[in-house]
Amino acid sequence: MKVIDGTIASPLGFSADGLHAGFKKRKMDFGWIVSEKPASVAGVYTTNKVIAAPLIVTKTSVKKAGKMKAIVVNSGVANSCTGTQGLEDAYTMQEWTAEKLGVEPDMIGVASTGIIGELLPMDTLKNGLSKIVVNGNADDFAKAILTTDTATKTIAVTETFGRDVVTMAGVAKGSGMIHPNMATMLGFITCDANISSDTLQLALSQNVEKTFNQITVDGDTSTNDMVLVMSNGCTLNEEILPGTPEFDKFSKMLNFVMQELAKKIAKDGEGANKLIQVDVVNAPNALDARMMAKSVVGSSLVKTAIFGEDPNWGRILAAVGYAGVDVPVDNVDIMLGGLAVMLASSPVTFDDEEMKDIMHEDEVTITVDLHAGHEKGTAWGCDLSYDYVKINALYHT
C-alpha cells in the first residue's frame, strides 16, 4: 500500500466541490462528493439516542437503495433537534440535490454539522446548490465541512489488486464533541474498487471499532456522527468477495485510511496542543484492551496532566482501574514515550531530563502492559487545555 498526495476525488470516477453558500458568515460551508456512476455504499452512524434529521434520511436511503450517486454536506447548521420541519428540510435537501444530478432521491446522502437546534435556511441551501459544480475543487470540499476544526483532514492511498491499482481516499471533520461509538465527527471515504454494498458494509463495520470508535476529545457523542464509504467499481477489478485474500487486503486498506483520519481528528481536538496515543498491550482480549485504552485517553485528569507535561502515572493507573474490565492490575507496567514510570504496579525512578523531553513533544504515547495475555488495543485523544473551555464557552446556541 502506498500513501499518495491526493484528495477525496483521487479515486477514478469521483469529483468534489466546496463553496461559501451562507450558512456561515465568511468561511466555506457547503460541498458535495459525486460519483460518475452509482456507487456501492456503506455507513455507520451515531449511537446517540438523539439522531439528527440528515442521519435519519441518509440511513434510510442507504438501507433502501444500497447505491449512492452523491453526498451533499453543509456546515454551520446541524439540523438536529429541529422536529418535523427539520426532517422535511433534510428530505428537501436530498430531493433538490437529486434533481440537480438527475437521479432518484435515495441515491443522495445528506449530512449537516454545526449548531444544534437551528433549522436549515432553505434559501441558503438553494443558493449553494445553484453554484456548486460536478468537477470542482476537491480541496474546497475538505474545507467546506469544517466547523471548529483548525485544519482539513485528508488521506489517500493506492493498492494493487492483481493487475489493477485501486485508489481509496478519505476526508473527515471533527474537533469537539468527539467520543463516537458508531464529534461532531463526519467521515467520507471514496474508492474505485469493485465491491458490493454488503461486502463494503462488512469491511466498514469490522474496522470502525478499531479506528473511529477509539478516539475521544471530550467524551461527548454528537447527534450527527456519521461515516459513509462509496466504492464505484471504476477500476474494473474482479469483484472483492468476503473471505478472500483480496477482501483482507481491502480491509487493511480501509483500516489504514480510517485510522489516519481518526488520528487527525484527535490531534485537532478543540484547543489541543498534543496528540495522545494509548497502547494497552498483553491483554486477555482485544476488546478489553480497547476499553482500557479509551478509558485512559478519555480521562480528564490524564489529559490535563499531558497538557501540563506532567508524567502522572497515578492518573493513568486509575483510569485503567475504572475501565470496567475484569483484568488483574497487580503487575502493570506503564511507559511514557518508551520510558518506564511504573513496573509491576510500582513506581520507578526515571531520568527527569529525558522525561521532560518526552512530555514536551506534540505527540505523546502511553503504553500500558498488563502482562495478562497477548492482545492489544489502541486509542487516540488529545490534551485538555484552557482554550478548550474558551472555545466551548463562547460557542453560542
What sign has the CA pseudo-torsion 252, 254, 255, 257?
positive
pLDDT at residue 46, rounded to an integer: 76
Residue 38 contacts residue 69 (beta carbons within 8 Å): yes
Q: How confident is the model at residue 396 (pLDDT cuts 50, 70, 90)?
A: low
Q: How confident is the model at residue 13 (pLDDT cuts 50, 70, 90)?
A: very high
CATH number, domain with residue 153: 3.60.70.12
Q: Is the pLDDT of residue 392 over 70?
A: no
Same domain, 133 and 253: yes
CA angle, residues 48, 154, 245, in degrees to nearest 5: 85
> What distance in Å separates the CA atoms of residue 28 and residue 360, rounded to the nearest whole number?
34
CA dist list (Å): 284 to 27, 134, 280:
48, 50, 11
Same domain, 20 and 60: yes
Q: Grid coordinates representing 231?
A: 466504492
pLDDT at residue 126, rounded to an integer: 97
Same domain, 240 and 290: no
Q: Is the pLDDT of residue 172 over 80?
A: yes
Classify 67 as helix, strand or coil: strand
Please compute the mean of the pLDDT values over residues 8-16 and round it to a whole number.
Answer: 98
Among 231, 248, 267, give the residue marking a domain's end. 267
pLDDT at residue 71, rounded to an integer: 99
Better pLDDT: 395 or 259: 259
Among 267, 289, 323, give the residue marking a domain's end. 267
pLDDT > 90 in the chain, percent: 76
Q: What is the 3-state secondary structure (H, E, C) of 221-246?
A: CCCCCEEEEEECCCCCCCCECCCCHH
Please compute the mean of the pLDDT values over residues 176-199 and round it to a whole number.
Answer: 76
Please compute the mean of the pLDDT values over residues 79-94 and round it to a whole number.
Answer: 96
Q: Is the pLDDT of residue 25 over 80?
A: yes
> What distance in Å separates the CA atoms of residue 199 and residue 213, rounded to the nearest whole number?
20
Same domain, 262 and 313: no
pLDDT at residue 218, rounded to an integer: 46
Edge-to-edge, what's the strand order for the sheet holding 275-283?
A: 215-216, 375-382, 275-283, 363-369, 333-336, 339-343, 346-347
Q: How confident is the model at residue 269 (pLDDT cuts 50, 70, 90)?
A: low
Q: What total of structural domains would you count in the chain? A: 2
Smallest Cα–Cα separation from 354: which of 370, 335, 368, 371? 335
CATH number, domain with residue 337: 3.10.20.340
Q: Is the pLDDT of residue 29 over 80?
A: yes
Range of the domain at 301: 275-394
Q: Is the pLDDT of residue 7 over 60?
A: yes
Same domain, 250 and 353: no
pLDDT digits (tens, 9 = 90+) for 35-45: 999 999 999 98
Residue 180 contacts residue 261 (beta carbons within 8 Å): no
pLDDT digits (tens, 9 = 90+) for 227-261: 999 999 999 889 999 999 999 999 999 999 999 99
Strand-pair category, 275-283 with 339-343: unpaired
Catalytic residue among 82, 184, 199, 378: 184
Q: Is the pLDDT of residue 217 over 60?
A: no
Facing residues of 113 across strands? 75
Please compute the mean of the pLDDT values over residues 96-103 and round it to a whole number.
Answer: 98
Q: How confident is the model at residue 183 (pLDDT cuts 50, 70, 90)?
A: very low
The 10 Å Cβ neighbour count of residue 365 is 16
pLDDT digits (tens, 9 = 90+) for 104-153: 999 999 999 988 889 999 999 999 999 999 999 999 999 999 987 878 99
pLDDT digits (tens, 9 = 90+) for 330-362: 899 999 999 999 999 999 999 999 999 999 999
Same domain, 13 and 119: yes
Same domain, 231 and 294: no
Please compute the mean of the pLDDT values over residues 63-76 and round it to a whole number.
Answer: 96
Same domain, 202 and 236: yes
Amino acid identity, position 38: P
Q: HSE on the CB side for 190, CA within 13 Å?
A: 31
Same domain, 207 and 70: yes
Q: Is the pLDDT of residue 388 over 80?
A: no
> What distance in Å separates the CA atoms of residue 230 and residue 36, rounded to the nearest whole number?
12
Q: Is the pLDDT of residue 219 over 80?
A: no
Residue 359 neighbours by CB under 8 Å, 6+ apart = 306, 309, 310, 311, 336, 337
Smallest Cα–Cα separation from 110: which of 118, 247, 120, 137? 120
pLDDT at residue 270, rounded to an integer: 63
Same domain, 98 and 165: yes
Please compute the mean of the pLDDT values over residues 182-207 and round it to a whole number.
Answer: 90
Q: How confident is the model at residue 200 (pLDDT cuts 50, 70, 90)?
A: very high
Q: Grid coordinates representing 192?
A: 474505485
> Catalytic residue at 211?
no
Q: Round to the nearest angstrom and report the end-to-end CA distance of the chain.
A: 44
Q: What is the 3-state secondary structure (H, E, C) of 246-312?
A: HHHHHHHHHHHHHHHHHHHHHHCCCCCCCEEEEEEEEECCHHHHHHHHHHHHHCHHHHHHHHCCCCC
Compute the CA torsion angle 139, 143, 145, 148 (nearest 10 deg): 150
Same domain, 158 and 26: yes
Classify 122 as helix, strand or coil: helix
Same domain, 263 and 279: no
pLDDT at residue 177, rounded to an integer: 43
Tracing cell 458568515 back to the chain, one arrives at 25
pLDDT at residue 224, rounded to an integer: 64
Among 267, 299, 320, give the residue marking a domain's end. 267
> What distance in Å separates the CA atoms of residue 149 and residue 147, rounded to the nearest whole number?
5
